Amino acid sequence: MTDNEVDVGLVREWFDQIDARKGIGQELFLAISQMTPSVNVDLIIKSHDDSSTLLTWRDDEYYGPGWHVPGGVIRFKEKLIERVHKVAKVEFGRELIRIEGPIGFHEMFNTTRDVRGHFVSFVFSVTLNKPPDPKFQIISEPFNGGWSWFSECPEKLIPNQSDLKQYL
């Protein structure tokens, strides 16, 4: 076997041992993300009066510091709408009282890296059943996982999500 060949039988054997509906783990997810696009949902979370949009602060090795539209990668055999509900539950501990969409579809590319570098995104407009936990509200200095409401797009939206500005 040369350096560029893969023992497909061995890979198949490994994959057969994984129930991807339960997740595949961070390491395998990152490896696969540099070979194929990730399909995800992005949630444009609107206030009850529709005057503002909820964003979270993200500061990690893939996107650096900036405001972020909450979203999540769809699991194997998971419906889009299931992931929409899970994102609201996991990121904010909330249920949704309104879901519209998908209201848009976008391809997002990172031109400087391959790992987590290509996303196919389905955009949904939603409203939470109640406000997020106030202990995570950003009042002054941003922190990872914190949130804030915006009446217009903030200056520091992560570049990878620039196509989503039209919804904010």
CATH code where residue 16 lies? 3.90.79.10
- Mean pLDDT of all residues in 10-29: 84
Mean pLDDT of the chain, nearest integer: 91
Q: Angle 35-40-46 (CA atoms, 0-180°, nearest 5)?
A: 155
pLDDT tens-digit profile of 74-127?
Answer: 999 999 999 999 999 999 999 999 999 999 999 988 887 777 778 899 999 999
Say how many Å lie between the first and final Cα of the chain, rounded.
51
Q: What is the mean pLDDT of residues 57-86?
A: 93
Structural domain boundaries, residue 34: 8-167
Mean pLDDT across the stretch 15-31? 84
How many other CB atoms sit within 10 Å of the CB of residue 47?
15
Domain assignment present for 12: yes
3 pLDDT more than 70: no
Residue 28, pLDDT > 90, answer: no
Cβ atoms within 10 Å of 131's Cβ, excluding its own: 14
Q: Decide if 13 is inside a domain.
A: yes
Distance (Å, whole) CA 164 – CA 70: 11
In a domain, 3, yes or no: no
In the predicted structure, residue 1 carries a pLDDT above the cut 80: no
pLDDT at 142: 95
Q: Are 38 and 116 in contact (CB under 8 A)?
A: yes
Please state which of the ranges 26-40, 73-87, 143-157 shows the lowest mean pLDDT: 26-40
For strand 71-73 and strand 118-128, is the pairing parallel, antiparallel, or unpaired?
A: unpaired
In a domain, 2, yes or no: no
**pTM of the full predicted structure?**
0.88
Q: What is the pLDDT of residue 29?
A: 81
Phi, psi of 91 (to 5 degrees): -80, -30
3-state secondary structure of 64: strand
Q: Say how many domains are in the chain.
A: 1
Residue 15 in domain: yes
73-105 exposure pattern, b = at least 16 Cβ within 10 A, e = fewer: bbbeebeeeebbbebbeebbebebeeeebbebe
pLDDT of 130 strictly over 60: yes
Mean pLDDT of 62-84: 94
Q: Is residue 37 situated within a structural domain?
A: yes
